[in-house]
Amino acid sequence: MSAGGGVWRNSWNFNVCTTIYQSNEQGNNYMEVTKPSQKKGKLWNNCCYLVGPIDKCPEGGATWRKQVKNTFGRLGMDFLDPTDKPNPKLNEIQQKIQELNVLKAEGKYDELAERVKLIRSFDLRCVDKADFIIAYMNNDIQMTGTIEEIVTANREKKPVLIVCEQGKKEIPNWMFGMLPHYYFFNNWAELEDYVVGIDNGSIEPDKRWWFLNE
């Protein structure tokens, strides 16, 4: 399994969701996953925020997020993605990360701090707005914002589903005291099974879950 996509089941009998590209006011294209016409499950219209390392990740953390949106968009879910924001000024893509690193290298700490404060504020607002979180952890990559977002979501008593690159047994012990361990997964296929089970009712949700269409 890797941040580049890993193993997915992709065996559901769903209509293929349509991905379209729209232009925002700044003229930049961004991806929007349209919802297919199908029987609505529990997660229809639920909003998921995609949490994971970006600035220390070789491909900027975009690959696995695209895979999640392509897979679970078929359930009629909405997504908040820090690498694909409607406002391109706040997008956490490799070019923007490089700009921040240049500011740091040049000692322009005031400008760096102001720009990062905007990103942090927006991302934590995404945690507030989301119904649940899908997080990718990799113990070989430095994670700071990821940990704060997980902690924030936990304090708000939201489901925080974590896939760890090194496997469930390598998730830090502290996390087991924060979150139910059945939120932890060895790979994307296990996560997929759980999310689909929550959606179709074959897995009993705990008290952290709220469903907008019930």
What is the tens place of the pLDDT at every residue in 87-113?
666 555 566 778 888 999 999 999 999
In a domain, 21, yes or no: no
In a domain, 35, yes or no: no
Q: What pLDDT, on a 0 to 100 scale, did the predictor assign at position 89?
A: 60
In a domain, 48, yes or no: yes
In a domain, 176, yes or no: yes
The residue type at 213: N
In a domain, 81, yes or no: yes
φ/ψ of 186, rounded to 5, equals -75, -25
Q: How far apart are alpha carbons 140 and 8 in whole angstroms? A: 22
Q: Containing domain of residue 171, as a range? A: 41-200
Per the CB < 8 A criterion, the answer to whether 51 and 162 are in contact is no
Q: Is 165 helix (H, G, I), strand (E, B) or coil?
A: coil
Q: What is the CATH number of the domain that holds 169?
A: 3.40.50.450
- Quote the radius of gyration of the chain (alpha carbons, Å): 17
Q: What pLDDT, on a 0 to 100 scale, did the predictor assign at position 22?
A: 42
In a domain, 8, yes or no: no
Q: Which residues of the chain have pLDDT under 50?
A: 1, 10-32, 34, 37
Structure-block tokens of residue 159: 């489901």
Per the CB < 8 A criterion, the answer to whether 44 and 198 are in contact is no
Domain count, the chain: 1
Q: What pLDDT, on a 0 to 100 scale, did the predictor assign at position 212?
A: 74
The residue type at 96: K
Per the CB < 8 A criterion, the answer to whether 46 and 208 are in contact is no
Q: What pLDDT, on a 0 to 100 scale, did the predictor assign at position 69?
A: 95
pTM, entire model: 0.80
In a domain, 50, yes or no: yes
In a domain, 70, yes or no: yes
Q: What pLDDT, on a 0 to 100 scale, did the predictor assign at position 70?
A: 94
Short-list 1, 74, 43, CA closest to 203:
43
